[in-house]
Structure 1
Amino acid sequence: MSELPNESNDSNQSDDSTELATSQDSQYSAKPAENTPDAEPVQPTPPYNRGNANADKSARVKKALLAGLALIVLAVIAYGLYKSNQQSELEIITLQGQMQMQQTSIAAKVPGRIAQIMVTEGDTVTAGQQLVEMDSPEINAKINQARAGKQIAQSQLDKAENGARPQEIAQAKAAWQANKAASDLAKNTYQRVNRLYEEGLMARQKRDEAYAQYLATEDQTEAARLQYDLALEGARSEDKSAATAQVAQVDAQLDEALVAKEEANLKSPIAGIVDNVIVSAGEVIGQGVPLLTLVDTNDQWVVLNVTESYLNQFAIGQTFIGTIPALSSADKPYSKQFTVYATSTLSDFATWRPTNNDDGFDVRTFEVKARPSTPDTRIRSGMSVIVRINPTPINQNQE
């Protein structure tokens, strides 16, 4: 019981010391406030709790791990979708070809001036239709010259075939008869002179002169008879053949000039469409110069460049489907069936060569030509054709 006052004293002393420290702190904290009248009152600092800080740090780590795991899962899914799309894209090979049509260039065979062009680009023409009219005075002059030569040659042939005229025949006959009468007179005279010579009443000289005169008149009579026979017979067969050949030669020259004039008026050799008109009316053109081009819409084909890895899908006689974008619409593609009719290898520039042995072997490129099942007049040269095929490596077809 005697210790109780001491304990109260100790407690009083501790309370006093506590109040003293508190008052000192109040004084220290109040001093700045006197210098700064606008300063805000100082908030008391909460006591530090170590257990709550550890719990917050653990929660943040867990969230980070979950976020990282989610990102990894998403990356794996995206990579799988990418590979899947890439694999699906590799399943279809797209080839681009080009439509072509048979083109015919119309050129002049003879020089001249273009008088008139009777067609325009895009016109449909038929075989034999006149396209261009030309004016060539040189051709007209050759035609006139050939016709005059033909008249001369024909006259010579007619003369050779018809023979001498009746008047010429009568004249030859009269000359023969006159010479025959003179020959008969010379013969009688020679006979009388010869009898007188044998009787010794006439000199031998006179007899010889009469005999020479008789022989001369006989020769003249024979020549006149031959002239009469020629007049009756007409020209020789050789002369007739020569005259006939001359007429044929002149006919050929005339035909050549007429053909040249016909060729000057150019006509279409095929049925098709006028693709391009190169010249204009009034121009002077030379021989062999192209004037316009025609395309045959019934002779169409597509050309594809295919590597030999896919050539097994384009064997001769095999069919495939091609789409023509130029004739397609947004909701309806224009597709046609084509049949392969020719394949040929391209030059070495179209060969892919490996850089080392591990890359494989050389791959050649082939040109494939295919015709549509039914031609379409709307198709034009140069239109693209899209062909989609499935990849089939070479080693899959080997047994």
Structure 2
Amino acid sequence: MNLPKFLVPAIAVTVLGVGVYAMLQHNPPAPEQLQGMMEARETDIAPKLTGRVIELLVQEGQRIEKGGLILRIDSPEVAAKMTQASNAAAAAAAVAQKAKNGARPEEIRMAQANFERAQVGVDLARKSFERVDGLYKEGLVAAQKRDEAEANWRSAQGLANAARAQADMARAGARSEDQAAANAQAAQVAGAVQEVEAARAETELKSPVAGEVAKLLAKVGELSPAGVPVITVVDLADQWMLLNVREDQLKRFAVGQEFDATLPALSYQAVRFKVVGSQALPDFATWRATRNNQGYDLRTFEVKAQPLKPIAGARPGMSVLVK
């Protein structure tokens, strides 16, 4: 049968479309695969003071516990400050103890002896005045002599009173205000000693966390500045995965959703993850525009997901595949 020439192209296009459709049904396109990366909590540890590293007690790959000793630092400045603070503390403590103890027994006895000697002088001056006063009343001496004898008596009495006060003060010891001031000074110096002790404790750097030594930047003999990290510790038990997702796929990775993924480095081990957070990446990380001349750019979101169970053998940087 001869078909009209204008029907031949239409029939050919139809046959081709049917063939393509059949091929697609037989071999459907492979599902899109996303690639993420494993992460773990890393802690950079730095000393609080500057010093020279004299001993390293860990190496990369070693497991350390919280409070484990990492390295020792030599700091002559801290040693000098400790000597100064210790001497100042000893002096302040001696002053405080002296204020507490008061005068020595010898000083008390000396003050008492001075008072007794002054009292003898008072008695002698009083008797001399009484004799001169009797002669004055009989008209045998002038009034001037009587006045001089009375002045000597009063002066001796004043000296005796002063000697008594000195003896009483020696027995009573230091004033309460002086004792309080001495104690406060001793406490202040003790605080300075504690400060230097804290600095000396920092010459032995200890790990604030448990984990595995990922990086060791310090070397024996090097000068380690204060605040500069010398070691990085990674906690492999605190794991998560980061995945970059287009916003049109974000619904599948909403917070609280769970999904399956595989780790090629662990023989494609299947792991169940749960989304715990997501955030939009900067504009330079956006995906292609939906259309060339109109529409909008697809933003990229960083999804954070944690495994439902810790993954044995997983390390930061391992790839994670999500279909």
TM-score class, shorter-chain normalisation, is 0.7 to 0.9
Partner of 1:308: 247
Query: Where do 5+ consecutive residues of structure 2 fail to align?
Result: 1-8
Measure, in 2, the Cα distance between the counterparts of 1:81 and 1:281: 71
Measure, in 2, the Cα distance between the counterparts of 1:194 and 1:317: 115
Which residue among 98, 103, 112 is the counterpart of 2:51?
112
Measure, in 2, the Cα distance between the counterparts of 1:220 and 1:295: 82
Deviation sequence 1:256-305 (CA, Å, 0-9, x none): 22222221111111110000111211112222222111111122111122
Confirm whether residue 334 of structure 1 aligns to residue 273 of structure 2: no
Matches within 5 A, 1:30-45: none
The structural deviation recorded for 1:358 is 7.2
Partner of 2:106: 167
- Percent of aligned positions that are identical: 43
Structure (1 or 2) with the greater helix fraction = 1
Using structure 2 for the length normalisation, give the TM-score. Answer: 0.88
The structural deviation recorded for 1:121 is 0.5
Using structure 1 for the length normalisation, give the TM-score. Answer: 0.72
Provide closer, same or farther for how the CA distance between residues 355 and 380 of structure 1 changes in structure 2, counting only shifts above 3 A: closer
Confirm whether residue 285 of structure 1 aligns to residue 230 of structure 2: no
Residue type matched to 2:282 in 1? S
Confirm whether residue 230 of structure 1 aligns to residue 172 of structure 2: no
Partner of 1:210: 149
Report how many aligned residue pairs link the two structures. 316
Which residue among 265, 268, 274 is the counterpart of 2:207?
268
> Which has the larger displacement, 112-121 or 144-153?
144-153
Partner of 1:80: 21
The structural deviation recorded for 1:170 is 0.9
Partner of 2:3: none
> Which has the larger displacement, 78-87 or 198-207?
78-87
Measure, in 2, the Cα distance between the counterparts of 1:135 and 1:345: 47
Query: Where do 5+ consecutive residues of structure 1 fail to align?
Result: 1-67, 389-399
Provide closer, same or farther for how the CA distance between residues 254 and 347 of structure 1 changes in structure 2, counting only shifts above 3 A: same
**CA-based RMSD:** 2.8
Is the 8 Å Cα contact of residues 246 and 287 (structure 2) preserved in structure 1?
no
Secondary structure class of the residue paired with 1:363? coil
Confirm whether residue 128 of structure 1 aligns to residue 67 of structure 2: yes
Measure, in 2, the Cα distance between the counterparts of 1:95 and 1:311: 12
Deviation sequence 1:327-379 (CA, Å, 0-9, x none): 12xxxx21222222222222232345858797434433222212212223522
Measure, in 1, the Cα distance between the counterparts of 2:266 and 2:118: 100
Provide closer, same or farther for how the CA distance between residues 186 and 84 of structure 1 changes in structure 2, counting only shifts above 3 A: farther
Confirm whether residue 100 of structure 1 aligns to residue 35 of structure 2: no
Partner of 1:396: none
Task: Select the structure of larger CA radius of gyration.
Answer: 1
Partner of 1:382: 317
Measure, in 1, the Cα distance between the counterparts of 2:13 and 2:301: 47
Secondary structure class of the residue paired with 1:235? coil
The structural deviation recorded for 1:86 is 8.1
Secondary structure class of the residue paired with 1:209? helix
Secondary structure class of the residue paired with 2:227? coil
Confirm whether residue 363 of structure 1 aligns to residue 304 of structure 2: no
Partner of 1:33: none
Secondary structure class of the residue paired with 2:156? helix
Between 1 and 2, higher relative CO (CA 8 Å, sep ≥ 6) is seen in: 2
The structural deviation recorded for 1:93 is 3.5
Which residue among 191, 194, 202 is the counterpart of 1:255?
194
Provide closer, same or farther for how the CA distance between residues 81 and 225 of structure 1 changes in structure 2, counting only shifts above 3 A: farther
Structure 1 segments (4+ residues) deviating >6 Å: 71-74, 355-358
